Amino acid sequence: MEGLEHILQEHPFFAGFTAEHLRLVAGCARNRRFDAEQYVFREGEPADEFFVIRHGRVALEIAEPGRAPVVFATLGQGEILGASWVVPPYRWMFDARAVALTRVIGIDAACLRGKCEADHDFGYEMMKRFLPVVTRRLHATRLQILDVYGKR
């Protein structure tokens, strides 16, 4: 467990976390590995985990009948993967595919949600970290939609 706490502490998402809060997260965590082309999760499946990417790269994509999946974002080292674990009904909205060997720490969602409920200070700290990530991605998506590089 100490190893996981150390790894979490080194990750930007958890920078500045107290030792006690790190211990709470680590209690729900496990190391995971995904080979290139392996799916981390698929749309519609239960979002029972969220992921702290240690290295590698994961493509978020949407499957479309009769066409190749559309990749709309990639995430890599230092980022977190998955927001559906925190929003009912806790189902993945997209597919996530490792595009290279990817090592992550998977954090059990039910375990983490339970700890957030039990300790609101901890829960608030998690949300303070999590919301900016989601917001940044929303802003980035808006910029992507603007299609700024072409003829205007």
Q: Rounded to the nearest whole angstrom, what is the least distance from the CB of residue 79 to other proteins in the complex?
A: 8
Q: Which residues bind other proteins (CB under 8 A)?
A: 12, 57, 59, 68, 70-74, 76-79, 99-100, 136, 139-140, 143-144, 146-152
Nearer to other proteins, 30 or 136 (CB): 136
Q: Distance between CA 95 and CA 39 in Å, rounded?
A: 7
Q: Rounded to the nearest whole angstrom, what is the least distance from the CB of residue 42 to other proteins in the complex?
A: 18
Nearer to other proteins, 63 or 118 (CB): 63
Nearer to other proteins, 30 or 55 (CB): 55
Q: Is 124 helix (H, G, I), strand (E, B) or coil?
A: helix
Q: Rounded to the nearest whole angstrom, what is the least distance from the CB of residue 143 to other proteins in the complex?
A: 5
Q: Are 132 and 80 in contact (CB under 8 A)?
A: no
Q: Distance between CA 16 and CA 67 in Å, rounded?
A: 44
Nearer to other proteins, 22 or 71 (CB): 71
The amino acid occupying position 88 is P
Q: Rounded to the nearest whole angstrom, what is the least distance from the CB of residue 24 to other proteins in the complex?
A: 25
Q: Rounded to the nearest whole angstrom, what is the least distance from the CB of residue 82 to other proteins in the complex?
A: 16
Phi and psi torsions of 27, nearest 5°: -65, -20
E-assigned strand segments in 8-145: 29-34, 39-41, 49-55, 57-64, 67-76, 80-81, 95-98, 102-108
State the DSSP code for 48: -
Nearer to other proteins, 1 or 148 (CB): 148
